[in-house]
């Protein structure tokens, strides 16, 4: 992955503030968007996220709070608008 494409993450969710970094994959889907995103919160890896027909999910399977996954996904969409 190319770190030059990373962008900052800063959002509030359920009374907690989150800061981190989102690193889009170099690989693009048919819609031209990155296939997945590597998300760190603080200095720690959080998850690889991808967006499919059923919305945002972890690339490796469920395990993180779904609401937070969706909030980060919305943040990613807003970044590209």
- When divided into structural domains, the chain yields a total of 1
In 10 A of CB 69, how many CB atoms? 20
Contact 7, 13 (CB under 8 A): no
Residues 29, 11: Cα–Cα separation, whole Å: 26
Q: What is the pLDDT of residues 8-63, one digit of tens each?
A: 999 999 999 999 999 999 998 888 889 899 999 999 999 999 987 778 888 776 67
Specify the pLDDT at position 62. Answer: 64
Domain span at residue 62 reads 3-80
């Amino acid at each position: 992955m190319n770190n030059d494409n990373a962008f900052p993450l800063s959002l509030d969710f359920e009374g907690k503030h989150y800061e981190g970094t989102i690193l889009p994959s170099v690989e693009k889907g048919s819609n031209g968007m990155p296939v997945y995103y590597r998300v760190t919160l603080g200095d720690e890896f959080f998850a690889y996220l991808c967006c499919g027909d059923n919305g945002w999910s972890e690339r490796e399977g469920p395990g993180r709070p779904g609401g937070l996954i969706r909030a980060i996904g919305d943040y990613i969409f807003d970044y590209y608008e």
